[in-house]
Structure 1
Amino acid sequence: MKDSVVKRLKDQLFVARSYYPSIAKLQGQEALTHEMKQNIQDHERVLSASAVDADLPSFINKKIEQMEHTIAKAKSCTVECHNVVRKLRQILDMTDDEAHFHMKQSAFLYNLGSQTLPKTHHCFSMRLTLEYFKSPSLDSDVYPARKFNTPNHRHYVILSKNVLAASVVINSTVINSKEPANNVFHILTDAQNFYGMKYWFARNSYKKAPIHVVNYEEMVLEKLPKFSMRELYLSEEFRVLIRSTERPTEQTRIEYLSLFSHSHFFIPEIFKDLKKVVVLDDDVVVQRDLSFLWKLDMGDKVNGAVEFCGVRLGQVRNLLGKTKYDPKSCAWMSGVNVINLDKWRKHKVTENYLLLLKQVKKKDEVSLREAAFSLSLLSFQNLVYPLDGRSTLSGLGYDYGIDPEVAQSSAALHYNGNMKPWLELGILDYKIYWRRFLTREDRFMDECNVNP
């Protein structure tokens, strides 16, 4: 058993603590009482400094023998068993409370670590922003505006607040593209990261592919004032617990869904001159040429997405409200999505989304973001074109059991889940696919000690 000596010390401590109050009340057992108290304090002192066997002092075996001898003498005394049992229960309850506290604390710190960029990344972003304002020549875009609005080019849209993540998505796409110069990338970012993004993509070339950095918040404020959702929201990720009603004894399944955020529903309004785009999440790595996505005939469908039939709408009816839907319909995933903007406008997807949004009780930002689950699934009812599930492999941000051969053969990898590849808690075996498209030779990365 791992760290068996530490566990034995804790067991001895629990037993000694349970007997100590009863022994202390016995007449003529003052010496044993003092001995027990001394041994308890010694054990507490050792355990406060040693969490594993490797940390234990060399004299620990002697301490264990002394405590064993003391406990044996305590057990030979005539004590009221119910007092010992009561004390043992108190200790057990305290231990359970402590374990529950540490579990909650661990979960909180884990979520905080997964949702917060490391300080090195903040340094990197701030340095880029500072350099932008020190370089006035970058105020003008390298490419003319018409280059970003030409419908016959392949337009990709990325919503991101992370310079390195967006860089990896674009770099992996152009490197694996047969016609990289025919690709146009539009990055929607927030006001805080806008200038850092502009500076980075102005000084880095991606096989001559035009890169258009858009301040989403400014765009909505100035050109789309009728929409009140001005904050940039990235793709939302949801952890869904599925219980079988037919087989109650069957183990609960946990599935992870990545869906469009509120900001995605304004893409057709932002890019009014475009007819078709591919939306890429910023936690995606492209490994194959994606030109086949532009040749798809999706008929009257709007959203080309990988279906996720591990979750059907009927299984999450408590989250979808009273709106009518097909309970057998599969959920779908964001990550790599082909969007027919003409069909989107024809079916008035944005308008339907806004109508559904009015029915949502928006108490705070958390409840607003949670609403993206139902709004994404319901807004695209009967409008999803199923992509080949082998084209995009999901789960690299939480699933340790992905076959490396499957990962290498997929056209795109999606790091949905909490363990993003740019974080320290990212799954090490999957980081290699992300790192190979990372621009490493940059002085700002060295100065800020950025090493994902």
Structure 2
Amino acid sequence: METQERNTGLDQVAHESLNFTEEILSARSFSRQLAEQMTLAKAYVIIAKEHNNLHLAWELSSKIRNCQLLLSKAAMRGEPVTLEEAEPIIKSLSYLIFRAEDAHYDIATTIMTMKSHIQALEERANAATVQSTVFGQLAAEALPKSLHCLNVKLTADWLRKPSLQELADEKRNSPKLMDNNLYHFCIFSDNALATSVVVNSTVSNADHPKQLVFHIVTNGINYGTMQAWFLNVEEFSWFNASYAPIVKQLLSADSQAYYIGGYQDNVAPKLRSPKYQSLLSHLRFYIPEIYPQLEKVVFLDDDVVVQKDLTPLFSLDLHGNVNGAVETCLEAFHRYYKYLNFSNTIISSKFDPQACGWAFANVTARYHYWQEQNADGTLWRVGTLPPGLLTFYGLTEPLDRRWHVLGLGYDLNIDNRLIESAAVVHFNGFMKPWLKLAIERYRPLWERYVNRSHPYLQDCVTS
């Protein structure tokens, strides 16, 4: 019986609260009049402060607090505001608003003032957005403590264990590296943990894992860390300034000033990343020179996770094209005109501005040509995608979208069905899965392929 009475009381309160909501929306209610006067008074508080009329601003603020208190009490008790309660506040607020208008704080002035405030807030919001992007970029570029720890331990192992070096030499001379009956994948990376996830996920989902061959290239700094798998990028003696225009550009004084000098202030934050200075980012255009004996190679970025068997890619008919990739034209910002300077006749005379961008025969010569044309940075600013779009223009076979789903490093709203159906999911963007700023919804897709049982990884994560 007691429970029933309590429930009845709750229903009554809910009903009365609903009536109060209707009352405050009613044009005839005192609550509505108080709310409207309070809104106008808040605007005059700002204007009075700007005109240094602090006493009027204080009086208005005091009456606004009284008004808020009265409305709060009425809501709590579930009864409408009475005339006796509302009249003193309405009169005093009306008098103060009249004083504000008499001081020429009229509606026109109010509108202009509010517009200026809105503009100032928009500028602050834009500045905060830019700052957030810069901070996100800095966080993405920084090497997490756990990864640094892992690199140090692996490098120490490499230096003190000659058996590892002997094993690496044996692998480098394996005939499998040039066997076109096997499935060849290449990864260019300086991140050992990320690359291990790419390899683990590819092998785990392959129908015939023993037929996979991974060609992994790193730089000199990480050579000792990942020597068991990797080739050293500095060992490509032909990859120098006289052969590759990008090497010449990156070594130039202007390029150094562009990336580390004051000119960066005029560059969009996402274009300032040091990754654009890394030769590893540009090696994908030299795959024919790096692996001349191989007929087909699948290139994998180090921020992808493979979810299905990729060997069917090797049997796809590219119809005479040298590249196969998924189109990214679902959004307008993936059109060519978003990446290239079409005001330059060199670009506008040869390319369609509405052509689709790509998520990435011998194309190296074409790549060299466009890098030379862009020596002064007038065709595009930085990055590997613009020259890649030019290099593979008209030479790329579009693949089914399910082969490659992008955006897991920046897009919070990718459809789960699209992710589940994807052969490869790509964490492109600043929110990499190995960073604390990763999107939590997608992180498990990557973490399931991290070898948590490795003692070094356990030590580095817990230390």
Alignment TM-score, normalising by the size of structure 1: 0.66
Letter in 2 for 1:358: E
Partner in structure 2 of residue 425 of structure 1 = 437
1:160 lines up with 2:189 in the alignment: yes
Quote the Cα distance in structure 2 between the aligned partners of 1:11 and 1:282. Answer: 57
Structure 1 unmatched runs, 5+:
1-8, 26-31, 40-67, 203-211, 234-258, 335-342
Percentage of pairs with the same residue: 32
- Specify the alignment match of 1:369 in structure 2: 382
After superposition, residues 215-226 of structure 1 pair within 5 angstroms as 215-216=232-233, 218-220=234-236, 222-225=237-240, 226=242
Secondary structure of 1:157 counterpart: strand
Helix, strand or coil at the partner of 2:434: coil
1:284 corresponds in structure 2 to 304
Secondary structure of the residue aligned to 1:381 is: coil
> d(CA) in 1 for partners of 2:299 and 2:462?
27
For structure 1, which segment, 13-22 or 401-410, has the greater mean C-alpha deviation from structure 2 after superposition? Answer: 13-22
Matches within 5 A, 1:38-437: 75=97, 77=99, 80-82=103-105, 95-140=121-166, 141=168, 142-147=170-175, 148-198=177-227, 202=228, 212-216=229-233, 218-220=234-236, 222-225=237-240, 226-228=242-244, 229-230=246-247, 261-310=281-330, 311-313=334-336, 318-319=341-342, 321-322=347-348, 324-325=350-351, 329-334=355-360, 343-344=361-362, 349-362=363-376, 369-370=382-383, 372-437=384-449
Contact residue 327 and residue 356 of structure 2 kept, 8 A:
yes
Deviation at 1:360, TM superposition (A): 0.2
Structure ID, larger Rg? 2
- Cα-Cα RMSD: 4.1
For residues 70 and 110 of structure 1, the distance between their equivalents in structure 2, rounded to whole angstroms, comes to: 50
Structure 2 counterpart SS, 1:123 = helix
Task: Give yes or no for contact 2:42–2:60 (8 Å, CA) kept in 1.
Answer: no
Question: Which has more strand, going by share of residues?
Answer: 1
1:284 CA displacement = 1.5
Residue 297 of structure 1: how far off its partner (Å): 3.0
Query: What residue identity is the alignment partner of 1:116?
Result: A
Q: How far does residue 436 in structure 1 lie from its aligned partner after superposition?
A: 1.0
Q: Taking structure 1 as reference, are residues 15 and 438 closer, same or farther at Cα in structure 2, changes over 3 Å only?
A: farther
Tell me the alpha carbon deviations over residues 271-316 of structure 1, each in whole angstroms, 9 at most, x when there is no partner: 2222221111112111122221222232421112122344454776
Structure-2 residue corresponding to 1:249 = none
Pair 1:98–1:285, CA change in 2 (3 A)? closer
CA distance in 2, matches of 1:368, 1:409: 35
Number of residue equivalences: 359
Preserved contact between residue 15 and residue 88 of structure 1 (Cα < 8 Å)? no
Deviation at 1:173, TM superposition (A): 0.8
Kept after mapping to 1: 8 A contact 2:218/2:232:
yes
Q: Note the C-alpha offset of 1:415.
A: 2.0
Q: Structure 1 residues 273, 10: CA separation in 2 closer, same or farther (over 3 Å shift)?
A: farther
- In the aligned structure 1, how far is the partner of 2:354 from the partner of 2:377? 31
